[in-house]
Amino acid sequence: MSTSTTPRLNGPNRTGVAAARRATELGLDGSGRRGSWKGGAFRALLVLCLILAFVTLLAVIVQAFVRGLPRLDLDLITGMPSTLDRETSGMQSAIFGTIYVMAGVIVTVVPIGVSAAIYLEEFADHSRWWVRFIELNIQNLAAVPSIVFGILGLAFIVRGPLSLGPVAYAGSLTLALLVLPTVILAAREAIRAVPNSLRLGSLGLGATQWQTIWHHVLPAAVPGIVTGTILALSRAIGETAPLLLVGATVFVTYNPDGFFDGAYTVLPVQVFQWAVRPQEEFRVLAAAGIIVLLGVLLAMNSLAIWIRQRFTREL
């Protein structure tokens, strides 16, 4: 951007220089060195901050296991949710609902997200105001609260213009819009990481820009795109709030009839419904459901890491 070679001494840079100067003054009077225990204590404090985060993660997992272990059985996977048979109630409908909803999310978000990323990385002229506007908009969309997407889904997809009704694909579409910015961001990074020599070589041999992208850039970027997309989808799988608004609310004791028919529920919503019931058996079920949910997420994360390591070659 700014190509001036003179050091800029305004803005945060000046703050940095001033800070360095101050540190020097403080350091050279000898007081900084003598108090070396302070450095050790500070380091310990920082480590403590990280540990706080990790211990909580561990506590979430351990607590779910301890509570949910009695119900980690086959009934949990094969049984239908029931308010009567608390001992054998399961979440088959939620598992199938999640599969339906996630399939819908993948089909919707991947083509749109990757196309948008290709445009922004390969074709967009970043000096145009509308390109910057689109980028700003994506950045902002990534931080919009998920429940607002639920309102959007309720007003636009379930009722309103699309009026799909509370069906599985309405949930898919809502979640797809929610994770679209994440997918675009991940795909852009993967495309940006493709070395430029690949493009120049292809263009130099007379390929058109689209041929270059289709035959060379995209194949090289696929591992990165897949990895980023899996991570975005693992966010979508855990989302609860927007789905509460777009239909996955009632106690559903049968699998979805299809993408556009019938009621559905998903894992996190099922967990939520069990969690709010006062009976201990349902709390146990909720904990068991959380274990399954965390297991699915861990599997997806591992898959993403595996793909990253298996397919990323140095180009």
Partner 1 sequence: MSTITRPGPVPGGRAGTGLSLRASSPRWGEKAVVGWLLLCAAFSVLVTVGIVLSLVPPTVEFFRRVAPWDFFSTDFWAPTNAGNPGFGVLRLVVGTLNVTFWALLIAIPAGLGAAIYLSEYASSRSRRVLKPVLEVLEGVPTVAYGFFAMTFVTPLLREFWPTFLPRKLGEPPGIFSAASAGLVMGVMIIPTVASISQDAMSAVPSGLRQAAYGLGSTRMQVATRVVVPAALSGIVASFVLGISRAIGETMIVLLAAGASANLTFWPNDSVLTMTTFIARTSTGDIGHGTTTYYTIFAVGALLFVMTFVMNMISIALVRRFRETYE
Kindly state the number of chain residues that form the binding site for partner 1, as judged by CB under 8 A: 114
Cα separation, 121 vs 187, whole angstroms: 9
Residues in 154-193 at the binding interface with partner 1, rule: CB under 8 A: 154-156, 159-160, 177, 180-181, 184, 192
**Taking contact as CB under 8 A, which single stretch among the options 15-23, 75-83, 96-104, 257-265 is the one that binds partner 1?**
15-23
Cα separation, 165 vs 139, whole angstroms: 30
- Closest separation in Å from C-beta 260 to partner 1: 20
Residues in 281-310 at the binding interface with partner 1, rule: CB under 8 A: 283, 286-287, 290, 293-294, 297-298, 301, 305
Can you tell me which of 5, 84, 129, 196 binds partner 1, judged by CB under 8 A? 196
* Nearer Cβ to partner 1 (80/267): 267
Cα separation, 19 vs 199, whole angstroms: 44
Residue 149's nearest CA partner among 115, 96, 105 is 105
Angle at 293 between CA 145 and CA 276, to 5 degrees: 70
Residue 77's nearest CA partner among 296, 257, 241, 250 is 296
* Nearer Cβ to partner 1 (96/156): 156
When asked if residue 264 is in the footprint of partner 1 (CB under 8 A), the reply is: no
Residue 187's nearest CA partner among 238, 124, 116, 256 is 116
- Closest separation in Å from C-beta 78 to partner 1: 22
- Closest separation in Å from C-beta 111 to partner 1: 8
- Closest separation in Å from C-beta 181 to partner 1: 7
Residues in 83-142 at the binding interface with partner 1, rule: CB under 8 A: 111-113, 115-116, 118-120, 122-126, 133-141
When asked if residue 69 is in the footprint of partner 1 (CB under 8 A), the reply is: no
Q: Are 232 and 117 in contact (CB under 8 A)?
A: no
Residue 67's nearest CA partner among 244, 296, 249, 274 is 274
- The residues, ordered by sequence, that sit 6+ positions from 311 with a Cβ below 8 Å of its Cβ are 222, 223
Phi/psi region, residue 180 (left: phi>0; alpha: psi -120 to 50; beta: rest), is: alpha
**Taking contact as CB under 8 A, which single stretch among the options 29-37, 70-78, 96-104, 221-229 is the one that binds partner 1?**
29-37
When asked if residue 216 is in the footprint of partner 1 (CB under 8 A), the reply is: no
Can you tell me which of 100, 268, 285, 288 binds partner 1, judged by CB under 8 A? 268
